[in-house]
Amino acid sequence: MPTAPHRLPERVRRMRSPPAPRAVAMLPLPPGLRRRLREGPPPPPAPPRAPPAPPAPPAPPFAFTPRRLRLGLHHPLLEDGDVHRHLYLQGVLTSLAEVAEGPKVSEFSCHISGCCQVFDTLEGYEHHYNTLHRNVCSFCKRSFPSARLLDVHILEWHDSLFQIMAEKQNMYKCLVEGCVEKFKSSKDRKDHLVTAHLYPADFRFDRPRKAKSGPWHVSSPAKDGASVPMDVSQETSEQFQVDPMETGPSENMEIPRPPASPGPTTPEKWFYKSSSSMNRLNVAGPSADPWGTPLATSLQPDSVPLIPTL
Amino acid sequence: MWGRRGRWAGPGGAEELRARRREREAALRRARRQEQLVSKRLLREDSAAAEGGRDGAETVPDPLSEDEVLELLRGMQRGSEDRKRSLSRLRRALQNKDTQQKFVRLDGSIRTLVGLFTSSLADVQMEAARCLHELSHSSDPAVAEACLPATSYLLTYLSGHSVEFTELCLYTLGNLVVESEAVRKQLLPQGIIPVLASCIQSPHEAVLEGLGYVLSQLLQAKEAPAEIVPLVLDSVLPQHMLRLVCSGLKAGTGAAVEFAWCLHYIVCSHTADAALLSLGALPALATLLLDLASETPPDAPEGLELLICPVLRCLSNLLAGDTGCQGQIRDERLLVALFLILQSFLQQHPFIVQEGLWLLNNLTDEPFFCSALLALDLLPALLQLLPCSPMAAALVLTVLCNIAEKGPALCQQLHQALPLLLPALALPDPQAVGQGLELLHLLFLHCPEVAADFIRQGGQRALEQHQSSPELQERARALLDLAGQPAGASTTGPCHGTVSAFP
């Protein structure tokens, strides 16, 4: 069983020669030419003699002078090469050879404690691991798509020093790579993301930190101890709005959320099984939604534990 | 991408494949002449094989009805098993353009799809990503642009570590990038360039190739020289691109191909020469050409021309820039490499010939390369390229002019080529013939005896046939004069001493 998903096998690609033999091109090249390539670089050029006198301009009607040609993107000389390149892009040239697949493995399961996902390809496992286990916050167990977003989360959600400093200076970093702007509040940052970077207003990885007493809060222990909600968002409805498509990591768990958004909703009833983090037997993965949106927990009035945890 | 997931259409399909290719080729030429050459790339698992279908034959599924599409959407909005099954069926159905259009017009469809794309269930996420990818590949702008709400997520996921997923996101982005300026106007502020700059340090070949694809699409945009190239030059991308191109023979040839085309587009923007030269692009690419030539057996493996072509172009254009960079690659092995490459690709990919000759022209601007070409005994091979194509003929003759122009010493060595130049004067292409006349002029100028030989070999008739051509008649006439022909023959000038006694 793989222990760490670091060096998963690369897909091997090889160019294959077409099967039919071709006539070799007939250029009368001197023998031994290829050997000259393998010789070392030429000796440094001899010190320049006096430069030759510039040649007289050609007498008309003759006009030739040597000229380096600079050809633009659309020059006719480049047409055939461009067409060939695009045939390749369109997959018309792909060779018929198959790629050597990675080593076959028999079924195996994720080794993270509590996670029971099973895989039959290394790629499937890799994707699962990266989605759920790789960039996980050690405080609240939420997972993030990148180390960077995880760092931002830890700073803003679990660092009391951050909260203190945020009172005096702009501490909320823009989430877009390459942008160095900082803001005094989560809301200001969101406004910047929307106006300057054309991000969607409901960008999933920019959920503002929720107050602990909210009904949606995960009951897992959080070490930060900061119970003061530093960022009470004005748009509470937006805060608790979650995408109706949110799912937990386990297939056994459904999320019973009445969609708070006024968007088109479906009339299905949401059903619900226990997602208590105590219950690990049928549940795969952490009980917190990976993108920082807490799942409903046993605080829900109609929770039905799958397995009694007494 | 290199040879991977190739669709094998079965034994009866080869003729169809050829016909399809000819059609595509014609369409591409038309598009290029209108300066609208745009292509997208499709990453699709060989689903027929996966689903146990027949023999991998490529069939586009029939379109679904509105109700059927709606049913799939509802299935996606329900939970667990339904969702995955519906997604898979949708993915297959979206291979049909009609179904694509129906899907994007449904209320809430994209929102649902994007929701699943950001799901924490890895396999749901992957399947949703494949659906988005099919949509991105559509030739209908309404369908492709429907994917816009997903772009911020596509970019976010590029910093993930799942190779297959990242690769899919990259190709999806690359398809969207080329769709319209409106799309790029969204992606640029969303930070696509910095994200790509981080991504280029990935060790995974598949990711790098996808990344190269995205960049090549960005750099082909009409607004690229003004809006995109400066951003790219400002980042770490150029040095990594150069590194990946130059190491492309050992590993990651697919990625090297993409980045080589990127470099070509950057060089064509005319604003990047100084930056690229300061990175050592010229000697690096020259060394790469040497490596390519020595690794390529006479029967070249299919696909290498896709790398060689943009490398040749970059070298030629960089040499032609205003900066005085010519001395950096004064290495006669470059000529050896060039001719070996021309030999390898002459049969299968004749376009390499004219592009290689373009480089040769730019090199032989320098006396060093003119002497080297003759010293290496490459003249016969050069002449052998005359009949390849009209453009090749014009370029061969131009190169010969470059050599002749360097003075009598080199002209002497061209003397032996005279018999092969006579047929060149009968070529149908006036531009090529014009260069031939210029060449003769230079030869007559520097080597008196050439004129005599020329006439002796029947050159007079060859010249006279151009007397009625407006482009050529003046020069043909002047050459006849120079060669001391009876009608208005001049008896002055250095070349004419021995040719006065002619019948």
| Percent above pLDDT 90 for chain A | 25
* Percent of chain B scoring above 90 in pLDDT: 62
Q: Report pLDDT for A53.
A: 63
C-alpha–C-alpha distance, residues B121 and B127, integer Å: 10
Question: How far, CA to CA in Å, does A61 sit from each of A51, A66, A69, A120, B437?
Answer: 28, 16, 22, 77, 11
A261 contact partners, CB below 8 Å, separation of at least 6:
A241, A244
What gap in Å lies between CA A194 and CA A190, rounded to an integer? 6
B181 phi/psi in degrees, rounded to 5: -65, -30
Q: Which among A34, A45, A90 has the least Cβ separation from residue B24?
A: A90
Q: Provide CB contacts within 8 A for B93, sequence distance 6+.
A: B61, B64, B68, B69, B72, B99
97-116 of A, contacting B, C-beta below 8 A = 97-99
B354 contacts in A (CB within 8 Å)?
A: 77, 80
Does A79 contact B32 at a Cβ distance shorter than 8 Å?
A: yes
> A104-118, A171-185, B7-21, B332-346 — which is least confidently predicted?
B7-21
Closest of B285, B310, B256 to residue B1, by C-alpha? B256
pLDDT at position B276? 94
pLDDT at A33: 86
Q: Please give the residue that has the higher pLDDT: either B103 or B449.
A: B103
The pLDDT tens digits of the residues spanning A121-146 come to 888 888 888 888 888 999 988 888 98
ipTM of the complex: 0.89
Select from B125, B339, B367 the Cβ nearest to the Cβ of A29: B339
Residue A75 has pLDDT above 50, yes or no: yes
Give the closest-approach CA distance of A306 to chain B in angstroms.
Answer: 17
Reduced to 3 states (helix: H, G, I; strand: E, B; else coil), residue A109 is strand
Task: Give the pLDDT confidence score for residue A60 in this predicted structure.
Answer: 82
Residue A119: the pLDDT is: 83
| Closest to B418 (Cα-Cα) out of B386, B443, B390 | B443
Rounded CA separation A18/A41 (Å): 34
Angle at B171 between CA B281 and CA A144, to 5 degrees: 105
Nearest to A99 among B3, B189, B478 (CB): B3
Cross-chain residue pair A131–B303, CB shorter than 8 Å: no
> What region does A91 belong to: left with phi over 0, alpha with psi -120 to 50, or beta?
left
Q: Is the pLDDT of residue A241 over 70?
A: no
- Facing residue for B301 by CB, picked from A15, A24, A132: A15
What does the pLDDT average to over A226-246? 32
- Average pLDDT rounded to a whole number, residues B108-117: 95
Q: Which residues of B touch A86 (CB under 8 A)?
A: 28, 37, 39
**Concatenated DSSP letters of B4-33:** TT-----GGGHHHHHHHHHHHHHHHHHHHH
**What integer pLDDT is reported at residue A95 of this predicted model?**
46
pLDDT in tens, B258-287: 999 999 999 999 889 999 999 999 999 999
- Give the phi and the psi of residue B225 in degrees, each rounded to 5: -55, -35
Amino acid type, A65: T
* pLDDT over 50 (residue B320): yes
More reliable by pLDDT, A126 or B334: B334
Per the CB < 8 Å rule, is A204 touching B20? no
Q: Are A306 and A282 in contact (CB under 8 A)?
A: yes
Alpha-helix residue ranges (DSSP H) falling in A5-95? 33-38, 79-89
Q: What is the pTM of this model?
A: 0.79
Residues of B with CB below 8 A from A74's CB? 32, 35
Long-range contacts of B62-69 (CB under 8 A, 24+ apart): B62/B96, B63/B96, B63/B98, B63/B99, B63/B102, B64/B93, B64/B96, B64/B99, B64/B102, B66/B102, B68/B93, B69/B93, B69/B99, B69/B102, B69/B103, B69/B106
Residue B491: strand, helix, or coil? coil
Torsion angle of C-alpha atoms B24, B28, B29, B32, degrees rounded to 10? 180
Which pLDDT tens digit goes with each residue over B364-421?
A: 999 999 999 999 999 999 999 998 888 999 999 999 999 999 989 999 999 888 888 8
Mean per-residue pLDDT for B215-237? 96
Interface of A with B in 44-103 (CB under 8 A): 45, 52, 55, 58, 61-74, 76-99
* Direct distance between the N- and C-terminal alpha carbons of chain A, in angstroms, rounded to an integer: 33
A182 beta partners:
A173
The predicted model gives B293-317 an average pLDDT of: 87
pLDDT at A13 over 60: no
CB contact under 8 A, B333 and A41: yes
Is residue A277 a contact partner of residue A220, using CB atoms and an 8 Å limit? yes
- B234/B197 Cα distance (integer angstroms): 10
Residues 6+ apart with CB under 8 A from B417: B379, B383, B400
Q: Beta strands of chain A (E only): which ranges?
A: 108-109, 118-119, 172-173, 182-183
Q: How many residues does chain A have?
A: 310
Residue B495 has what pLDDT?
A: 44
Q: Identify the pLDDT of residue B106.
A: 94
Q: Which two tokens stand for residue B245?
A: 């191109």
pLDDT at B108 over 50: yes
CB contact residues (below 8 A), chain A span 138-157, against chain B:
143, 145-149
Chain B CB contacts of A92 under 8 Å are: 17, 20-21, 24
Model pLDDT, residue A74: 93
Q: Does A124 touch chain B (CB under 8 A)?
A: yes
- Between CA B134 and CA B403 the distance in angstroms is 54
List, for residues B43-77, the tens digit of each pLDDT value. Answer: 887 544 344 334 444 578 889 999 999 999 999 99
| pLDDT > 80? residue A52 | no
Distance CA B5, CA B168 (A): 13
The model's pLDDT over B157-200, given as tens digits with 9 standing for 90+, comes to 998 889 999 999 999 999 999 998 989 999 999 999 999 999 99
